[in-house]
Structure 1
Amino acid sequence: MLPAKKSPNNEIKEIRFPGQVFAPGLVLSGEKKCAYSKVCRGEHMEKWMVYAKKADFQEIGRKFGIDPVIARLIRNRDVDGEEAIQSYLHGTLEELPSPWLMKDMDKAVEILRTKIAGNKKIRIIGDYDIDGVTATCILLKGLKRLGAQADTCIPDRIKDGYGLHEQLIDQASEDGIDTIVTCDNGIAAAGEIADARCRGMTVVLTDHHDVPFRDSENGREWIIPCADAVINPKQQDCSYPNKNICGAVVAWKLIWALYEKAGIDKSEILDFTELAAIATVGDVMDLQGENRIIVKHGLRRLSETTRPGLQALICVNNLKGAEITAYHVGFVLGPCINASGRLDTATRALALLCTEDGQEAAKLAGDLYNLNQSRKAMTEQGKEQAINEIETEGINKNRVLVVYLPECHESLAGIIAGRIRELYHKPVFVLTKSENGVKGSGRSIEAYSMYEELVKCRDLLIQFGGHPMAAGLSMAEENVERFRKKLNENCTLSENDLMPKVMIDVPMPISYLTETLTEELKVLEPFGKGNTKPLFAQRNLHVSKLRIFGKNRNVAKMTLTDSDGVWKDAVFFGEADEFAEFVSMHDTISVTYYPEINEYQGRRTLQVVIRNYC
């Protein structure tokens, strides 16, 4: 249906119209504008690409009882072979890798069993985001179930900063703590861990962040802290098959191994599945393999959870009785949990997850909901300030955007960086003024490993850590401009890297859409990073009956009709007036879309949700 240009690897094609890339941008009034559902800034245009991965989709559909389109969508998500397809469609928790595959797991289990038997004081030191809070909850509940004398310490974002700082070691020593167990942090705290051990404390490290390294003439040197046990699947010599699990899952695996050793029933191990699922979605892990199974089963448990804190959080967000999806975790429930550590103290979110009291849960959930509402308003204000800084100071010409917002609340830097990355499709660091200099968070694009680039700037930084796609850092204020300059001097991103790619699963006419197929798409859920919602495309569609709704005029409803006269209801969310203007200037449009069933007042109608247009 759509002419295409094959890519060298024969797995992705660039869709083209005669003489132009399919949907790169439009010339309106002499200006290039990106025909996309979000505001797009800068000179970069979109490139629409279609997957062309090979398989016998008819045979896969027959064998697994699915539509061939579903078979193609699964293949596009790099699921290949009957065993992998079976696991993708029907994977169970029994398939999860054994915790004993993790390096130092046996060592950590023996240490903690000995400490518990000796009634030694154990302190869990976590983190203030959704992953760290859920990991702390899992460790606390699990260790106490085993009879441990355990307490927790979640650093204060403003006072302590991220990770295992000196003041936390001091406090543990003063409190007579025998053993520290870290979660979602520690791999970058070699000095602090050495200090703790010098003071006679035992340290069990659990983390999932990238292992720090130094590059030298002799190659790459990995810096592993001298903890008594280091559990992190990203260690080079760790045999655990999934390197991309969140900190809460690493913590869960430790409790899993301890429970197995203690002979505790498997059902109690699986009671932590919903917390692991929340953290996996909230920390934006790839929803593939083990992570997909955890989230799929965790969401089912979450919809009927018996945990008072989660029940209350679901209720305060008007989701009681609803089927909880990854979207609800990522954009409704998760931000409430994160808001505690951003604007207050994360101990409130931890208390919510741990409480067994319904009244306390309701109060805490209400507090977190209100904090999140405040966070939303402050984020929007910070985003607008960042855009103004980028445009007025000429920062938009840089390939790596470093925005310094001294007055911005430092807890919002990461969220704002993510929003700016969406607008410019460039790596973004947002820096804020702190008590001891400057702190910041970064959000990246696929072609740019943020953590590795920070390693090259370590001489300018006080502290840093993170992943390829996200990182945190601190520095002296006088180094801000030098940091911006060095990042851009080192940057090797090409214009092609900076062009947003719209990945289309199937160029499929709207005439193929049915309620049955749309319902069948649910077998692909949960959707998220690494398992995105399906995206289809069709060209030469006529638009009629266009109406604009919403107080911000951000919803356009219409009818789309193809050349054979087949029509479908459609909706577009975004700059609706801009969309309407574009439609008025063209006889037909091309769109990317996904289908959904719209239920309203007892009526079910199939509709097309437009994502991009040209």
Structure 2
Amino acid sequence: MAERWFVKNIKADYKHMSKKYALTELVCKLIVNRNIIDDEMIKSYINPDFDKFHNPRGMKDLERAVDILKEKIDQNSKIRIVGDYDVDGVISIYILYKALKRCNANVDYEIPDRIKDGYGINIDIIKQAKEDGVDTILTCDNGISAIEQIKYAKDLGITVIVTDHHDIPFVENENNVREFVSLSADAVVNPKQSECCYSFKQLCGAGVAFKLVEVLYETLNIDKRECYKFIEFLAIATVCDVVDLVDENRVFVKKGLEFINKTTNLGLQELIRECELTDKTLTVYHLGFIIGPCINASGRLDSAKRGLELLLSEDEENAVRLAKELVKLNAERKEMTMNGVETAIEIIEKNGMIQDKVFVIYIPDIHESLAGIIAGRIKEKYNVPTLIITKAEHGAKGSGRSIEEYNMFEELIKCKDLLEKFGGHPMAAGFSLKEENIDEFRKRLNENTTLSDEELLRKVTIDCVLPLDEINYQLIDDLGRLEPFGRSNSKPLFAEKNINILKATVLGKNRNVLKLKLKTKLNKALDAIYFGDINEFEDGIGSKYGKGELQKLYDGAYNDVVMDLVFYPSINEYNGNTSIQVVIQNYR
């Protein structure tokens, strides 16, 4: 697949910076490349620790929310937490529920059903709360756009506190000017409110919940260190909600990983064992691709309450049973996702859709909770904004995933006459529409788009040119200081041109790993590994150099193959031996 390669070249006084922070110039360059430039941010980035937390009292309405909660706890009024069914929602509830229980509150929780109720607090949940004698509703990871629902709760005489991190909803007046909508809740805690002075706006829902707990504990004279116990859970939510891994989020994940590797939470221990991770040091990868999806699977295919029950579990037998159920559900989810992805690829390739600049794919029979995951996989494969639509109880429902060059939310606004409901942000969106409008919707999105062919080429952003001969253990160690990697703190990528390949070997039982021996400019040999499409690699070499040269490459014979490589240096540990190897991300 054709790509555009860019080398970042940001001007800065790296010598001065290197002295000031006692870092190598290379590390300084990588930090600046991640847009971490002011002094406070750099210090927080280099030493992510609890002392880098911002004062939670700076968040609008947070102290008011705590005062209300304190009063309700003193009066033994019934508090109900209403969360969301994804990982961030489940963990937000966990943090608030455990904290309020610790404060002797009369508290329970409710999670809407993904299919039956859809996202966020709804009228039925509020009616039920009133019937159950609930005095106060506390939302987490939702609520900021529930204008009508909250007004309804207020009319019934219920106290409402909203904690959320999603964008503030707006209406466009007749001049297309956006007016932000305010809620009738008693307190609204969300750093994205324009009148909120809190300096870090990128918290996930559980991050906002944690900030509330910090002040709640302080107010009730509970030792601050007790609320740090929640950070291992907060790390999972922060990684899975794909928020920027800088500032406080970086502290949550860095510290959370230290805690989770020694966790005493029964549910997490069992889940780690059931996922066969007991002997591994857990990383961002394990949180984002193994642990998180298991907690998420219950909200997708069953009830999110099972994921929450696992974390709250205090009985070993129960924890074992729930962990097994979640892993099984996740395996089902994976298989259903694979089938959905294959169907989507077939539709694109066979129905002449491959020329579209925006994919709108209708697969009536996939589970609607998987539409977003499938959209993400298709977007990754083709680098095209993708919307997957499935049949719902009434009409059709869809979920979209985008590329940097395409603001999906803004593009949906242009088609709002075709949609029943929609919401989201530049990179992802959810919507519903009538089945008969799908073709028109596809046509309109493609006619409206200003995406050029060039913008649809995959972008590869390289941090800097790094000669293979400069790679050593110390450099790899320095790069380790930048972990954990994630959104806005991506793994550094380096490149070098005109590298001779000495030998190639295909490994793995599915022939899906390519091991290469590279020749450096100083005539040393260096190992490299590539996890991409091997057939594509072979076709590329074959068409450029001929089949004979490809064969020489596999035989380790003298050959003419020369490549430009984009890579990340790493350490390979095998049978107790360690050696340096580079992981190849892209080649040409």
TM-score tier by shorter-chain length is: over 0.9
Map of 2:82 onto structure 1: 125
Paired residues of 1:212 and 1:222 also in contact (CA < 8 A): yes
Provide closer, same or farther for how the CA distance between residues 448 and 224 of structure 1 changes in structure 2, counting only shifts above 3 A. farther
Mapping 1:34-433, distance limit 5 Å = 34=1, 45-216=2-173, 217=175, 219-433=177-391
Q: Where do residues 496-511 of structure 1 align in structure 2 (5 Å cutoff)?
A: 496-511=454-469
- The answer to whether the Cα contact below 8 Å between 1:553 and 1:575 also exists between their aligned partners in 2 is no
Query: Percent identity over the alignment?
Result: 51
Shift in Å at residue 517 of structure 1? 1.1
The whole-number CA distance in structure 2 between the counterparts of 1:140 and 1:429 is 35
Q: How many residues align?
A: 571
Change (3 A) 1:562 1:309: same
Question: Is the contact between residue 408 and residue 432 of structure 1 (CA under 8 Å) also seen in structure 2?
Answer: yes
Shift in Å at residue 81 of structure 1? 4.5
TM-score between the two structures when normalised by the length of structure 2 = 0.93
1:188·1:465 contact (CA, 8 Å) conserved in 2? no
**Equivalent-residue separation in structure 1 for 2:521 and 2:48 (angstroms):** 41
What is the deviation of 1:322? 2.6
1:490-518 superposed Cα distances (whole Å, 9 cap, x missing partner): 43333343222100011111111112211
TM-score relative to the length of structure 1: 0.90
Q: Does structure 1 residue 609 correspond to structure 2 residue 583?
A: yes
Counterparts of 1:95 and 1:71, CA distance in 2: 20
Specify the alignment match of 1:9 in structure 2.
none
**In structure 2, what is the Cα distance between the partners aligned to 1:336 and 1:609?**
28
Q: Secondary structure at the match of 1:252?
A: helix
CA–CA separation in structure 2 for the residues paired with 1:195 and 1:120 = 20
Aligned equivalent of 1:25: none
Q: CA RMSD in A?
A: 1.7
In the TM superposition, structure 1's runs of 4+ consecutive aligned residues that sit over 4 Å from their partners are: none
Distance 1:279 1:356 in 2: 21
SS in 1 for 2:281: coil
Are 1:568 and 2:526 matched, yes or no? yes
Give the Cα–Cα distance (whole angstroms) in 1 for the partners of residues 439 and 64 of structure 2: 45
Letter in 1 for 2:206: A
- The match for 1:589 is 563
Shift of 1:218: 7.0
* Letter aligned with residue 232 of structure 1: N
> Secondary structure at 1:271's aligned position in 2?
helix
Return the match for 1:487 from 423, 434, 445: 445
Structure 2 SS opposite 1:298:
helix
Question: Could you tell me which amino acid in structure 2 is paired with residue 591 of structure 1?
Answer: L
Distance 1:359 1:458, change over 3 A: same
State the match for 1:471 in structure 2: 429
Whether the 8 Å CA contact 1:125–1:164 is kept in 2: the answer is yes
1:233-255 deviations in Å (ceiling 9; x for gaps) = 11111111111111111111112
Q: Which has the higher contact order (CA 8 A, sep 6+)?
A: 1
Tell me which residue corresponds to 1:11.
none
Q: What is the CA–CA distance in structure 2 between the aligned matches of 1:448 and 1:370, rounded to whole Å?
A: 36
CA drift of 1:603 comes to 0.7
Mapped to 2, the partners of 1:417 and 1:610 lie a distance apart of 26
Give the direction of change, closer, same or farther, for the CA distance of 1:175–1:478 in structure 2 (3 Å limit): farther
Cα distance change, pair 394–226 in 1 and its aligned pair in 2 (3 A): farther
Cα distance between partner residues in 2 of 1:590 and 1:534: 17
CA contact (8 A) 1:511 1:567 kept: no
- Per-residue CA distance 1:382-425 (angstroms, 9 max, x = gap): 01111122222333333222211110011111110110111121
Aligned 8 A contact 1:103 1:232 in 2: yes
Determine which of 574, 578, 590 is the counterpart of 2:536. Answer: 578
Alignment-mate amino acid for residue 568 of structure 2: Y
1:447–1:493: 8 Å Cα contact kept in structure 2?
Answer: yes
Cα pair distance change 1:74/1:384, threshold 3 Å: same
Between the aligned partners of 2:28 and 2:197, the Cα distance in structure 1 is: 31
Q: Secondary structure of the residue that 2:314 maps to in structure 1? A: coil
2:463 maps to a residue whose letter is D
Residue 428 to residue 548, structure 1, CA distance change in 2 (3 Å)? same
Cα distance, 1:331 vs. partner?
1.0
Q: Deviations 1:478-536 (Å, cap 9, x if unpaired)?
A: 33233333333443333343222100011111111112211221100000111011101
Spell out, residue by residue over 1:583-607, the C-alpha distance to the aligned partner (whole angstroms, 9 max, x if none).
Answer: 3544201110001111111011111
